[in-house]
């Protein structure tokens, strides 16, 4: 009877240690999230004239040390702007330039947005540019 108790306790302790190890591995995996940093996520263009065509750039940086970031999609708030980049994958500790072209069509103040969907934290990154058209 004593031997059975000892074996049962030993199995319980080993099981508990294995569960703790699995939990620690999961926590370690969660700590290695890939993070996308944008140098200036809101740009004031100043005053521009009607029918001007502008090019705006955003520097996107992968500040994680071990995982690539993939840009899944890019959307703009209107047909007057178009966003494009040369590579949809940003290597660890690297940067990529997002280029936006904008053609002004109406007078008045405006605020335009670009939404990036990525596999980083957070999943969505919202960039803006704004101005007053004269």
| Tens digits of residue pLDDT in 54-106 | 899 999 999 988 899 999 999 999 888 999 988 889 999 999 999 999 988 87
Long-range CB pairs of 90-94, under 8 A, 24+ apart, other chains included: 90/36, 90/60, 90/61, 90/62, 91/62, 92/34, 92/62, 92/64, 92/65, 92/66, 92/67, 92/68, 93/62, 93/63, 93/64, 93/65, 94/61, 94/62
Compute φ and ψ for 22, nearest 5 degrees.
Answer: -60, -40
pTM of the model: 0.72
In CATH, the number for domain 36-133 is 2.60.40.10
Write out pLDDT tens, residues 4-25: 666 666 666 566 666 666 554 4
pLDDT at 26: 47
**What pLDDT shows up at residue 100?**
95
| Angstrom distance (rounded) from CA 38 to CA 81 | 19
Q: Which is more confidently placed, 63 or 132? A: 63
């Amino acid at each position: 009877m004593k031997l059975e108790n000892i074996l049962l306790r030993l199995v319980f302790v080993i099981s508990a240690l294995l569960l703790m190890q699995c939990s620690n591995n999961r926590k370690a995996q969660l700590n290695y999230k890939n993070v996308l940093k944008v140098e200036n996520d809101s740009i004031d263009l100043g005053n521009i004239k009607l029918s001007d065509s502008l090019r705006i750039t955003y520097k996107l940086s992968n500040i994680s040390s071990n995982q690539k970031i993939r840009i899944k999609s890019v959307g703009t708030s209107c047909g007057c702007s178009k966003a494009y980049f040369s590579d949809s994958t940003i290597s660890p500790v690297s940067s990529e330039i997002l280029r936006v072209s904008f053609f002004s069509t109406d007078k008045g103040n405006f605020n335009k947005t670009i939404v990036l969907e990525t596999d980083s934290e957070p999943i969505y990154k919202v960039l803006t540019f704004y101005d007053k058209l004269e």
